[in-house]
Structure 1
Amino acid sequence: MKKNLLTKLAYLLFIGILNAPAFAADKSAPIAIPQVSDGFRYSLTPYLWAVNVGGDIAYKDRTLIDQNISTGELLSKLQYGGMIEGEVHNGNWGFAANLLYSSIQNSSSRMRGVVDLGSTTTAQMGIYNLTATYTLLSSKQAYVDALLGVRILSNDAKVNVNAQGTPLGTTLKSNTTLTNPIVGLKGRYRLGESDYFVPFYIDVGGGVDGTQLTTQGILGIGKAYDWGDLMLVFNDVYYQTKNGATTSNLNFYGAAVGVTFKF
């Protein structure tokens, strides 16, 4: 049911990019490219990201684990979640926050080496980008912000153990938080004189908490309306971490659709 709902919402947003009429009372012309001004500008973008997860763990360059989890598998275990991006600008300076949080539960977990009677695993994950921005370019055709900030990856896992020989109510917990500096560029390019534009985002970071490298890249298509924007993009977040001789690669990727409201 959750998968069908996500598919329907994504379809409606995609069709809106191509065909939907502006539904705001204001009849001013759409602005495909933001304009720098002395006053404050705000935007809020709720979005849906059809996340797939891929990863591997290697010891001394030998792969031990290689696994991929599809959007459908994640949705079947999703309890709740939220995805939103917000920005505020005053002149060339600004601040942006991109926040993703989800809670996933697997009620058919199994403890190895014992007779498991139905343990339950709950994983709560967040990816948070917090950045200061400065506008490098603002014209009728293009807009580019430089950004500097941090990306926080938080993963809290809890297992409610229900296994033979284990006391009732036993809970195992694991908490991991990676906080790394990032630097990058964000903006959009207008297609001709139309209301369509190409949004893009790229950053790179790492060097803290065992993270060798973390990157994020976004590329897609959008359409401006007088009330805001509709966008369809491909979003990819990558982590490479190292602990001794063990190297881990983790990749979150998939299509995303979002609606931007401007104030």
Structure 2
Amino acid sequence: MKSGFVNILACAGILVVADSAAAADVYSPVAPETHQLVIEPGWTFSVAPYFWAAGLSGEVGQFGLPPVDVDASFGDIVDHLDFGAMAIGEARYGRYSIFGDIMYSKISGVAGTPRGILASNVAVSSETFAGLVGAGYSLFESNSGRLDVVAGVRVWSVENDISFSGGILDGLSQSDGATWVDGMAGFRGNYSITPNIYLTAWGLVGAGEADIDWDVAGAIGYRFNDQISAVAGYRALGVDYNNDDGFIFDVVQQGPILGLVVRF
């Protein structure tokens, strides 16, 4: 039961947050890149679904229970995944940009108890939402690269349900969760190697209701044409949150990331 229960709890922490897809440039591993960086007149927009094969490690505490150490691979998480959606978008006007990044996942699982006295089975379901909204400004631009400063707000929401069947606790169910907000700031940059191939990276750090909230990534991208680009890289994200009710979410998620961007 412990292994299954820990894996399920680990799934509650999966999220991936790529910062945003750029319009005329890139700072996220899911955005297109132009070889000659040009500030285009008027508004430009981009949207990008993405996939993050992230594992999770750290400490989780909920339901008034002592904190549990978790160390789940991406495969462990996928085994319990019911639904997941990740997407980012950006609107850019000259040097200014407004971006958003949302992620939602729902996982569930059932584990049998060793003795079956308190309960025969324990069912756990978890819903996790993470969203980042922010704005950026280009500090430096050249024909081959760009550096942006960005700031925004990240909202987290985690809701877990546990229910028992059989045994003394038959029919008992309980919910636990938390919602919190953190301010974020950092930099994003990109560099064109060829007209089609580019490098991109970013780093964000912040705090608020969480003690610390951070996000770093690096990737290589390939631009097929003016509208479509693909990227592949690696990302790590961490958050350390706890409240007076004993809810603890102190985790690090990391793994390869893939994305496809459509610009219009």
Per the shorter chain, which TM-score range?
0.7 to 0.9
Q: Matched residues in 1 for 2:253 and 2:168: separation?
A: 37
Q: How far does residue 158 in structure 1 lie from its aligned partner after superposition? A: 0.8
Q: 1:112 to 1:258 in 2, by over 3 A?
A: farther
More divergent stretch after superposition (153-162 vs 70-79):
153-162
Structure 1's consecutive aligned runs of 4 or more residues displaced over 6 angstroms after TM superposition are none
TM-score normalised by L of structure 2: 0.77
User: In structure 2, which of residues 159, 183, 192 is the aligned counterpart of residue 181 of structure 1?
Assistant: 183
Asked if the contact 1:212/1:240 (under 8 Å) is kept, the reply is: yes
The match for 1:257 is: 258
Q: How far does residue 137 in structure 1 lie from its aligned partner after superposition? A: 2.2
Q: Matched residues in 2 for 1:118 and 1:104: separation?
A: 17
Q: Matched residues in 1 for 2:42 and 2:196: separation?
A: 24
Q: 1:66 to 1:111 in 2, by over 3 A?
A: same
**Can you give the 5+ residue segments of structure 2 that lack an aligned partner in the other structure?**
1-32, 62-66
Q: How far does residue 180 in structure 1 lie from its aligned partner after superposition? A: 0.3
Q: 1:242 to 1:76 in 2, by over 3 A?
A: closer
The match for 1:6 is: none
**Can you give the 5+ residue segments of structure 1 that lack an aligned partner in the other structure?**
1-29, 59-63
Q: Does 1:102 align with 2:105?
A: yes
SS in 1 for 2:165: coil
Q: How far does residue 145 in structure 1 lie from its aligned partner after superposition? A: 2.0
Cα-to-partner distance string for 1:195-253 (whole Å, 9 max, x where unaligned): 111111110100x22x2211100101111121221100111111123568x98631011
SS in 2 for 1:140: coil
Asked if the contact 1:33/1:143 (under 8 Å) is kept, the reply is: no
The match for 1:228 is: 228
TM-score normalised by L of structure 1: 0.77
Q: Does 1:41 align with 2:44?
A: yes
Q: Matched residues in 2 for 1:233 and 1:143: separation?
A: 19
Cα-to-partner distance string for 1:28-62 (whole Å, 9 max, x where unaligned): xx82465322311111111110010010379xxxx
The match for 1:24 is: none
The match for 1:218 is: 217
Q: 1:160 to 1:140 in 2, by over 3 A?
A: same
Q: 1:95 to 1:165 in 2, by over 3 A?
A: same
Q: Matched residues in 1 for 2:72 and 2:214: separation?
A: 20
